[in-house]
Amino acid sequence: MRDTKTLEQYSKNAQKKLKEMNLFKSLKKEVNVGANGTQDYVIKKGINKGKIAKWKSIQKQTSAYQSEIF
């Protein structure tokens, strides 16, 4: 005897899952990269607390620090 009830239930669940996944993909919104200064680093301690550190100044500081070590 074939187990058609289980196979039909599996097929319905698979179709439902596929439909949910497609709906989820289509409703996703793109993230606005760099909005509101989210890409820059905000200094958390010290006299410059709350200021946004620019990448060039951070790069200079780290290269100077590395040259002192070696």
CA distance 57 to 54: 6
The reported pLDDT for the residue numbered 20 is 92
Q: Which domain holds residue 9?
A: 4-28+36-69
Q: Along the 70 residues of the chain, how does pLDDT read in single tens digits? A: 578 899 999 999 999 999 999 888 888 777 776 666 557 777 888 888 888 776 655 556 666 555 555 5
Cβ neighbours of residue 37 closer than 8 Å, sequence gap 6 or more: 52
How many distinct structural domains can be found in the chain?
1
Dist CA 29 CA 19 (whole Å): 18
What's residue 44's pLDDT?
A: 84
Stated pTM of the model: 0.39
